């Protein structure tokens, strides 16, 4: 995406946060890319591929073809499997990650506490579904991207 469009989207986001007294995470595309590129993921290299609309009308038969259908687009990414492997291996996260879903209750009123992702019903139900599907998944953790 062109940098001007990224900056425009970030400006729209910033304006939408004004009513909530919030601040955007990034001030501009340079700030965004700095954060992305400084994120510690080990030595996982950037990869890319090109996508395009398959029925793009390039044969000239359809003059109503939307311009985006005629372009190709680069998609840049880092291998999610390698990134997650490196993140979970970080020593500074030991004892700070919940690897299994849990339910926690306030002892004074027996109300369930909803604190983070792994305390949610979806994580609990997903773990049940996975273990029912295959006992080989015991001692694994759910990593959602």
pLDDT profile of the chain (145 residues), mean per 10: 87 90 87 82 88 71 77 91 85 82 92 87 89 83 74
What is the value of pTM for the model shown?
Answer: 0.55
So what's the pLDDT on residue 57?
Answer: 55
Is residue 39 domain-resident? yes
Q: How does DSSP assign 45-74, residue by residue?
A: PEEEEEEE-SS--TTS--TT--GGGG-EEE
Tell whether 116 is covered by a domain.
yes
90 falls within a domain: no
Clarify whether residues 10 and 70 are in a common domain. yes
Q: What is the pLDDT of residue 21?
A: 84
pLDDT of residue 69: 86
Q: For residue 87, what are its two tokens?
A: 């993140």
7 with 69, same domain?
yes
Q: Which domain holds residue 49?
A: 3-79
- pLDDT confidence of residue 108: 95
What is the Cα–Cα distance from 83 to 47, expressed in whole angstroms?
A: 13
Q: Is residue 17 part of a domain?
A: yes
Q: How many domains does the chain have?
A: 2
């Amino acid at each position: 995406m062109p940098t001007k469009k990224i900056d425009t989207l970030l400006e729209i986001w910033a304006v939408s946060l004004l009513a909530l007294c919030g601040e955007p995470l990034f001030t501009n595309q340079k700030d965004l890319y700095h954060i992305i590129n400084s994120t510690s993921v080990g030595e996982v290299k950037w990869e890319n591929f090109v996508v395009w609309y398959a029925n793009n009308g390039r044969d000239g038969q359809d003059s109503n073809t939307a311009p985006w259908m005629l372009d190709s687009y680069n998609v840049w990414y880092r291998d999610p499997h390698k990134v997650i492997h490196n993140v979970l291996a970080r020593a500074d996260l030991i004892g700070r990650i919940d690897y299994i879903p849990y339910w926690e209750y306030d002892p004074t009123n027996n109300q369930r506490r909803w604190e983070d992702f792994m305390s949610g019903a979806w994580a609990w139900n997903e773990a049940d579904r996975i273990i029912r599907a295959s006992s080989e998944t015991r001692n694994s953790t759910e990593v959602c991207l």
